[in-house]
C-alpha cells in the first residue's frame, strides 16, 4: 500500500526516470540499440528498482499509465540520439492485452515524430502468447508499422518453443541465465551454441544478454550468428544525459 501511494505520486511528481543500456554489435562494437529501463528516484534519495514496483503497478492498475509514460519518454529521449541507434521498450503481457496498445504506440510515434524503424518492443516469453489471437494481431500490426519486436528472456520457463516460429518477431534475446557458469562448462557452451543456431535458423536476430566479463565477451563474440551483445561488460544502464553523451561520442 505504501508503494502504491508513492507510485501514484511518483507519476504525478516526475520521480520516474528512464535509464538506458547499450546493445553492442560484436565485431564493430557499434551500439545499435539502447534498452530503456525504468527507475524510481524516491524523494528520500533511494533508487527503487522496477523489480520492486512494477508488480505493484500491475496489481493496482497503474501499469497502463506507467507504460504510456515510458513509451513517450523513450521516444522523446531517443529523438536526440544518432539516427542509427534504436530504442527498445519493454512491454509487459498485461500491456499487450490492452485493446488500445497499437493506437497508443502509433500516437506516441506521431506526436514525438519518431521513426518506427527505430523503435523495438521487447515482449516476454509467455506460454499463452503464441496461441492468443488478439495479441498476435497486435504484434502483427506493430510489425507492419515498421516496429521491430524482440522476444526477451528467451529460454526461461518454457516447455515448448515451437511458438517462436509463429510469432511476428525479428529478434530473440537469450536470457542471461544461459551464461551462468558457462566458461568452465563445455555442456553449457554447447547448449548456448545450440540455442543460437536454432534461433538463427529461423532468420531471427540474436542478442546474448548478461555478458559481464571480457572472458564471456570473447566466448560469445566467437559465434558469428550472435547479432548483439548486452551486459555489464559494456556498462550498467545509464541516465539520459550520460547515454546521450556516450552515443554522440561513439
Q: Which residues bind Na ion (CB under 5 A)?
A: 152-153, 173
Selection from Mn ion, Na ion, ligand G, none that 33 binds (CB < 5 to 8 A by kind) is none
Cβ proximity to Na ion: between 138 and 173 the closer is: 173
Kindly determine how many residues on this chain lie close enough to bind Mn ion according to the rule CB under 5 A.
3
Q: Out of 70, 90, 112, 228, which residue is the one contacting Mn ion (CB under 5 A)?
A: 90
Which residues touch 22 (CB under 8 Å, ≥6 apart)?
31, 33, 34, 230, 234, 235, 243, 246
Pair 89, 120: CB distance under 8 Å: yes
The answer to whether 85 and 78 are in contact (CB under 8 A) is yes
CB 145 within 8 A of CB 117: no
Q: Closest approach of Cβ 57 to ligand G, in Å?
A: 9
Nearest to 245 by CA among 65, 37, 22, 55: 22
Contact criterion met (CB below 8 Å) for 229 and 24: yes
Minimum gap (Å) between residue 99 Cβ and Mn ion: 24
With a CB cutoff of 8 Å and minimum separation 6, the contacts of 52 are 3
Q: Counting contacts by CB under 5 A, is residue 95 touching Mn ion? A: no
For position 33 contacting Mn ion by CB under 5 A, the verdict is no
Between 66 and 167, name the residue whose CB sits nearer to ligand G: 66
- Closer to ligand G by CB, 49 or 225: give it: 49
Q: What is the 3-state secondary structure (H, E, C) of 88-116?
A: EEEECHHHHCCCCHHHHHHHHHHHCCCCH
- Could you tell which of Mn ion, ligand G, Na ion, none binds residue 138, using a CB distance below 5 to 8 A set by kind? none
Which residues, 100 to 159, sit near Mn ion by CB under 5 A? 122, 152
Cα–Cα distance for residue pair 11/143, rounded to 1 Å: 29
Applying CB under 6 A, which residues contact ligand G?
21, 37-38, 49-51, 54, 70, 90-92, 152-153, 176, 209-212, 230-232, 237
- Phi, psi of 110, rounded to the nearest 5 degrees: -70, -45
Contact partner, 228, from Na ion, Mn ion, ligand G, none, Cβ < 5-8 Å per class? none
Question: 73 or 152: whose CB is closer to Mn ion?
Answer: 152
Interface with Mn ion by CB under 5 A: which residues? 90, 122, 152
Amino acid at each position: 500500500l505504501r508503494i502504491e501511494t508513492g507510485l501514484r505520486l511518483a507519476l504525478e511528481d516526475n520521480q520516474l526516470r528512464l535509464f538506458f543500456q547499450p546493445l553492442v554489435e560484436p565485431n564493430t562494437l557499434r551500439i545499435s540499440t539502447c534498452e530503456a529501463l525504468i527507475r524510481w528516484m524516491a524523494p528520500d534519495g533511494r533508487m527503487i528498482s522496477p523489480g520492486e514496483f512494477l508488480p505493484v503497478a500491475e496489481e493496482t492498475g497503474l501499469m497502463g499509465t506507467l507504460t504510456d509514460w515510458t513509451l513517450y519518454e523513450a521516444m522523446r529521449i531517443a529523438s536526440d540520439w544518432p539516427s542509427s541507434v534504436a530504442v527498445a521498450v519493454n512491454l509487459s503481457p498485461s500491456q499487450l492485452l490492452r485493446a488500445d496498445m497499437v493506437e497508443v504506440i502509433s500516437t506516441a510515434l506521431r506526436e514525438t515524430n519518431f521513426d518506427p524503424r527505430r523503435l523495438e518492443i521487447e515482449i516476454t516469453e509467455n506460454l499463452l502468447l503464441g496461441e492468443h489471437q488478439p495479441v498476435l494481431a497486435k504484434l502483427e500490426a506493430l510489425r507492419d508499422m515498421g516496429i521491430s519486436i524482440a522476444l526477451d528472456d528467451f529460454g526461461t520457463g518454457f516447455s515448448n518453443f515451437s511458438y517462436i516460429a509463429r510469432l511476428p518477431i525479428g529478434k530473440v534475446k537469450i536470457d542471461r541465465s544461459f551464461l551462468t557458469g558457462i566458461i568452465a562448462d563445455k555442456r553449457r557452451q554447447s547448449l548456448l551454441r545450440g540455442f543460437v543456431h536454432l534461433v538463427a535458423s529461423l532468420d531471427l536476430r540474436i542478442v546474448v544478454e548478461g555478458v559481464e566479463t571480457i572472458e564471456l565477451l570473447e566466448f560469445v563474440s566467437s559465434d558469428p550468428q550472435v547479432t548483439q551483445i548486452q551486459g555489464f561488460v559494456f556498462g550498467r544502464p545509464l541516465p539520459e544525459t550520460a547515454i546521450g553523451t556516450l552515443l554522440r561520442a561513439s
